[in-house]
């Protein structure tokens, strides 16, 4: 099997250009577009709950994931643990996710300008003043929403737990 087998098999994973076309078509049909973004490195229950809640806010949920290079810049050289194509495929398998795209920038502002979502969602672990894309979303006529996931759950906490339990090499 080729490394891109999953990407080819899922109609949910789109390039930026393909996604712009899909969003435009959905908008013409009167559908509400919801976007969110993040690294989504090691998908966990907090991610799932957050994405399910985001989907409830509209008709189409677009998840934009940071490229491997941008994750390394944001999180450090040891991340991501899961490569971008695999993260995209895992997210695309979720029922609540309509489309997934990978973006190379450090923030989603340019992508949001191109997609013009009705609602952009961030997890409840953020405060409004921490969301760097807040002003861009507002200037496009969109709404920014914070939705809870499971705040105590995070990829960083999972990594710490794994290191604590298995750091000595005991399996």
Q: What is the pLDDT of residues 94-128, one digit of tens each?
A: 999 999 999 999 999 999 999 999 999 998 778 88
User: How does residue 7 score in pLDDT terms, banded at 50, 70 and 90?
Assistant: very low
Which residues are CB-neighbours of 105 under 8 A, at least 6 positions away? 70, 111
Give a yes or no: residue 127 inside a domain: yes
Q: How many domains does the chain have?
A: 1
Q: Is residue 44 predicted with pLDDT exceeding 60?
A: yes
Give a yes or no: residue 133 inside a domain: yes
Give a yes or no: residue 171 inside a domain: no
Cα separation of the two ends of the chain: 29
Question: For residues 132 and 111, is the Cβ–Cβ distance under 8 A?
Answer: no
| Mean pLDDT, all residues of the chain | 90
Q: Which of 103, 36, 39 is nearest to 75 (CA)?
A: 39
Q: Is residue 1 predicted with pLDDT exceeding 50?
A: no
**Domain with 43 in it: what CATH number?**
3.40.50.620
Q: Is residue 39 predicted with pLDDT exceeding 90?
A: yes
User: How does residue 150 score in pLDDT terms, banded at 50, 70 and 90?
Assistant: low
Structural domain for 14, as ranges: 5-166
Q: What is the pLDDT of residues 46-70, one digit of tens each?
A: 899 999 999 999 999 999 999 999 9
Q: Is residue 5 predicted with pLDDT exceeding 50?
A: no
Q: What is the pLDDT of residues 120-148, one digit of tens each?
A: 999 877 888 889 999 999 999 999 999 97
Give a yes or no: residue 91 inside a domain: yes
């Amino acid at each position: 099997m080729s490394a891109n087998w999953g990407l080819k098999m899922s109609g949910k994973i789109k390039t930026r250009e393909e996604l712009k076309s899909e969003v435009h078509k959905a908008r013409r049909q009167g559908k509400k577009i919801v976007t969110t973004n993040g690294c989504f490195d090691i998908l966990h229950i907090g991610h799932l709950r957050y994405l399910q809640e985001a989907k409830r806010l509209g008709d189409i949920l677009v998840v934009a994931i940071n490229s491997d290079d941008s994750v390394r810049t944001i999180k450090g050289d040891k991340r991501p643990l899961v490569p971008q194509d695999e993260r995209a495929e895992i997210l695309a398998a979720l029922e609540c996710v309509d489309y997934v795209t990978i973006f190379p920038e450090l923030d989603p502002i340019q992508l949001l300008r191109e997609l013009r979502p009705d609602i952009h969602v961030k997890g409840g672990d953020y405060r409004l003043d921490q969301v760097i894309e807040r002003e861009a979303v507002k200037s496009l006529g969109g709404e920014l929403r914070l939705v809870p996931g499971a705040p105590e759950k995070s990829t960083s906490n999972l990594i710490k737990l794994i290191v604590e339990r298995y750091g000595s090499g005991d399996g």
